[in-house]
Amino acid sequence: MTPKTGRDERTGLIVAGGHSTRFGDEDKAVAELAGTPMIRRVVDRIEPAVDEFVINCREDQVPAIRDALDGGPAASFAVDPIPDRGPMAGIMTGLRETATEYAVIVACDMPFVEPDLVDHLFERAAGRDAAVPRLDDQWFQTTQAVYRAEPMAAACERALERDERRIVEPLFDLDYVVVDEDEVREYAALETFENVNTREEFDDATARLGGEV
């Protein structure tokens, strides 16, 4: 991986402000996945590829997430001023707290995120506004992508003003690079994009990580 200094520093922005309704009573962000809270696993996975962390969530989630991250890399919190406005609003909140030029956004429910892909996305985004993976016959992977913080935050604000909630809306306002499936596969297995929504998916992920279901 390339050495990172000064303006080239990179933020890992973990978006975690959802209500995990498909998951059940528990907040999936802090659910113990093979012994590690899921958000902690995401942070630990991408730590080699970033210099600092910002966590976006609701105010009421902060204590449990802080506990989950205890002993790990330092992270600052970007709390949604208005909760439940969707992931794009969370991304805007988090990017406004981002001190570096670029940030990788990763959803808290992507425990198999591949740091080598994250590193590559930062390299591909250099000089542009975003680098976003897109698999064959699939939509953009907007919640595992690198963005230039300031223009993406501004584009999110404009999209929210238009009542758009899809994360591709701000993307289409930007100068973005598409990282296609062949290119993704050079750096990562496709499980990097797996997101855990239900108990069944959580149990499956647990088993693959060698934990007890």
Ligand X SMILES: Nc1nc2c(ncn2[C@@H]2O[C@H](COP(=O)(O)OP(=O)(O)OP(=O)(O)O)[C@@H](O)[C@H]2O)c(=O)[nH]1
Binding site for ligand X (CB under 6 A): 15-23, 56, 80, 84-87, 89-90, 107-109, 143, 195, 197
Q: Among 18-26, 91-99, 115-123, 125-133, which window interacts with Mg ion (CB under 5 A)?
A: 18-26
Write the DSSP string, 9-66: -EEEEEE--S--TTT-SS-GGGSEETTEEHHHHHHHHHGGG-SEEEEEE-GGGHHHHH
> Measured from the CB of residue 128, what is the shortest distance to Mg ion in angstroms?
28
In the complex with ligand X, which residue's Cβ is closer, 4 or 166?
166
With CB under 5 to 8 Å by kind, the binding choice for 87 among ligand X, Mg ion, none is ligand X
With b for 16 or more beta-carbon neighbours within 10 A and e for fewer, the 118-127 pattern comes to: bbbbbebbee
Residue 4 labeled ligand binder: no
Q: Which residues pair with 179 in a beta bridge?
A: 133
Residue 28 labeled ligand binder: yes
> Measured from the CB of residue 19, what is the shortest distance to Mg ion in angstroms?
7
In the complex with ligand X, which residue's Cβ is closer, 86 or 183?
86
Query: What is the side-by-side strand order in the sheet with 75-79?
Result: 75-79, 52-57, 10-15, 102-107, 144-148, 130-134, 176-180
In the complex with Mg ion, which residue's Cβ is closer, 151 or 197?
197
Residue 18 labeled ligand binder: no
With CB under 5 to 8 Å by kind, the binding choice for 90 among Mg ion, ligand X, none is ligand X
CA distance 8 to 103: 10
Residue ranges for the binding site for Mg(2+)? 109
